[in-house]
Amino acid sequence: MTPILELSNIRGGYGTIDVLHGVNLKLEAGQVHALLGPNGAGKTTTLGICSGQIVPSGGQLLISGREVNGVGSDSLARAGVCLVPEGRGIFPNLTVTENLRMFTHAGTSMSEVQDKAFSQFPRLKERRKQIAGTMSGGEQQMLAMSRALAVNPSLLLLDELSMGLAPLIVEELYERVAELAADGISILVVEQFAQAVLGVSTVASIMLHGRITRTGPPAEIAEELTEAYLGGTTH
C-alpha cells in the first residue's frame, strides 16, 4: 500500500539556511512513527515541511503517493493533515469553549467537538469557561489534542507532546494517541524524550544534524538512543 506520508531526500530550512540535508522517511497508513532526536536535530523543521508551512528546497514531499511540494498548509489542513505544534498551538487569550469553537473549521458541529473533547478529557469540561492560557501545561496540551480529535484527521503530526509535562500527564496523553492510532489515524510524533513515545509507536527513527541516521522497531532504537545522541552511531 502507498505510504500516507513519504519524505524523499528532503532538504529544507529557513531561507538560505538548510537545516535538513536529505531526509528519507516513510509513514504507512495506520502506523505511529516516532521521530527522535536531540534539540536542534531538525525534527520540528521536518514537521513544518510535512504540514506545508515550510517549502522544501530539494527532494520530494509525497502524501498518499502524490508530490505536494509547495502546497499551502491551509490546503493540507483542509484535506486532513493536522499539526499539533510545540508549545500547544492553542489560543491562550480565549476560553476553553472559545478554543473549541475555533476547531469547528473542519465542518464538525460545536456540540460534536465538545462531546469529543469533554468525553476524552473531562477536566476540560470543568474548565470550559477558563482562559486557556491560565490552565496548566497538561490541560493546555489536552485542549490542543482536542483539536486533533475534532478535525478527524487522516494524518496527525505531533510535536513534543511531553514538553514541560509531568510523567503521569504524558502517559495519559500517549494513551489517547494510541486510541487515535487504533482508529486508523496515521501519526508522526516528534519527541526529545523517547521513553514517552516508544511504548505506543510501531516504528521509530533517530534524527541527528538534519539527517535520519537510523530507522527500526522501537525496542532496537531504544537500545541505540544514548549512543546515537552522544555521537557513537555511524550508520
Partner 1 sequence: MSNTETTPSARLQEFQGEVDAMKVDGGKANPERTWLILGSLLMIAGIVLSLVAWLTLQGSGKGAKTEDLVAMGNFGLVLAVVGAALFIVMSLRRYFRFWLVRLIFEQREAADRIAGK
Instruction: Tell me the DSSP string of 61-76.
Output: EEETTEE-TT--HHHH
| Residue among 145 and 185 whose Cβ is closer to partner 1 | 185
Which residue, among 3, 56, 42, has the nearest Cα to 25 in the 3D structure? 3
Among 6, 23, 31, 156, binds partner 1 (CB under 8 A): 31
Least separation in angstroms between CB 229 and partner 1: 12
Which residue, among 84, 83, 51, has the nearest Cα to 68 in the 3D structure? 51
Q: Is residue 16 near partner 1 by the rule CB under 8 A?
A: yes
Q: Is residue 30 near partner 1 by the rule CB under 8 A?
A: yes
Among 111, 129, 168, 184, binds partner 1 (CB under 8 A): 184
Of residues 141-180, which lie at the interface with partner 1 (CB under 8 A)? 152, 154-155, 178
**H-only helix segments in the chain:** 43-50, 73-79, 96-102, 110-120, 122-126, 137-150, 167-182, 194-198, 218-229
Among 9, 66, 133, 220, binds partner 1 (CB under 8 A): 66
In Å, how far from its chain's centre is CA 58?
22
| Backbone phi, psi, residue 120, to 5° | -80, -35
Binding site for partner 1 (CB under 8 A): 1, 4, 12, 14-17, 28-32, 39-40, 54-58, 63-64, 66-71, 75-76, 78-80, 152, 154-155, 178, 181-182, 184, 186, 200, 202
